[in-house]
Amino acid sequence: MNRNIEIRFAQKQDLAAIRGLVVELAIFEKEPDAVTATLEDYSIAFDTGLISMLVAESDGEMIGMTLFYDTFSTWKGKMLYLEDFVVKESYRSQGIGDLLFDATVKEAIARNCKLMKWQVLDWNTGAQKFYERKKATIEKEWWNGKIIF
């Protein structure tokens, strides 16, 4: 693993690079045109405290990030929802995902969350194996519902 990795909270000036990583993730997930949230949308969400992000940097280059927010489980209480988690393809399998994920779990605990949730695609076996190594439960009986306006 490259030892020159810094994990830190995102700043407003990081938002364009973060959105770029989200677009990279959408391409990886075979949804290249799905990202319609603008940089202004990101800025408003950041300024109002709706979203938080941790970023991984190497020599000043943003190479990964997690984007998350507080929400509530009616069964468990306060929880952290991990909306996006991405490491640039050329930096994968170097332990950077471990650093980002572990820092995000630590943040959830610091926020007094009872659990952390996220989604993983059924065909993304690499991600599934990563989460299983982290002792996560991958639920396969719940289906997602959504309405896009």
Asked, for residue 149, whether it belongs to a domain, the answer is: no
Query: Is the pLDDT confidence value at 1 over 60?
Result: no
Asked, for residue 20, whether it belongs to a domain, the answer is: yes
State the DSSP H helix or E strand holding residue 46, giving kind and residue range, or none if neither.
Answer: helix 39-47
For residue 109, give its domain range.
5-133
Report the alpha-carbon distance of residue 99 to residue 91 in Å, rounded: 12
- Give the tens place of pLDDT for each residue, 113-149: 999 999 998 899 999 999 999 999 999 888 889 888 8
Question: For position 69, which CATH number holds?
Answer: 3.40.630.30
Count the helices and strands in the chain (H runs, E runs).
Answer: 4, 5
Asked, for residue 145, whether it belongs to a domain, the answer is: no
Q: Which of 42, 81, 91, 131 is catalytic?
A: 131
Task: Clarify whether 91 is annotated catalytic.
Answer: no
What pTM, to 2 d.p., does this model score? Answer: 0.93
- Give the tens place of pLDDT for each residue, 68-110: 999 999 999 999 999 999 999 999 999 999 999 999 999 999 9
Q: Any bridge partners for residue 12, and if so which?
A: none
